[in-house]
Structures are given as C-alpha cells and as structure tokens.
Structure 1
C-alpha cells in the first residue's frame, strides 16, 4: 500500500533529482545508482520526527527471488536516515 501525505524532498540534491527523474519517467530513467549501473528502487518512509513522506533511491539487491534492503550508507558507522524512519514507523 503506497504511503500518502505531504512529501518532503531530500535535503540532498542528487537524491531529489534522482527521485524526481525516476518518477517522472516511470523508472525508465534514473534507474541506476549514480554511474555504477546498479539498479535502484524508490523506497518511501514516513519521517520519524516530521511525519512527512520521504523518498530515497536504494540499490536493488536480489537473491533467489527475494529482495534485501541494506542500510549501510556505503559502510559508514551510522545508519542512513531512512533506517531511523523505518524503525519509528515500521508499519508505514
């Protein structure tokens, strides 16, 4: 079920640009993670503090027909914001 509510674009320009282009073209464009060629999906969460709709491109990782979401932020020592959003609103 898609999330509904007021959309709050990312504070990161590249994320805003990618989500906008992906959605405007139905995923025909901006469907890879930067210049890596790795496919992405647009994942929506509800902001942990604001309650507003947030969207972020996540690398699409598939193994034997199952998909995984990895909140590694490229191996950073802290979680990306979407992980906190999901922990606060796991059913949304």
Structure 2
C-alpha cells in the first residue's frame, strides 16, 4: 500500500526506501550494495580486524550496520563464501577462512 501511494520504493538486492525513487542517485552507484559490503569485509579480513577461523558479523549485524535488507546481507556473505574468504558451519555461523585458503589476487 505504501509503495502504491508513492511513499516508499524498493530496489531489489538493496532494500526499501522512504520517498519517491531517486533515479539520479540510483544511476550514480556503480557497485551493488552487497558487493560494497563484501569489499568492506574483505578489507577488514586483510587488515586483521576479522581473523582466520573467527566469526564474521551476523546477517542481523550487517543489516543494522549498513541499513540494508537481510537478503542484501545474505548475498554479501554468499559472495565471500564463493570467493573463499569465509566458510559457513550450519547452525554455528560464518567464519574467516584460514589465510592459505584466501583468494589469490
């Protein structure tokens, strides 16, 4: 109903925002938000803030920190897993991979 009334709009993979769609701002973003989150986490891993075999921030923490939808945080974590930066243990969480498993760039 809010969307139909023009009070909010949704950008797939990024979230729902208050107000009318701002097409100008949308076009200036070159990197999708989930990739920006993943890049930030990679920098934290490289910088030693997130250490091997230690947990990364939860989806809930990422949602709160970046102000994004849960699916956006989930996509960021999935990308890091695909790239080899992290691994996930079911029912336990996601952890930074050992250094020797990190992608070669």
TM-score, normalization by structure 1: 0.26
Higher helix share: 2
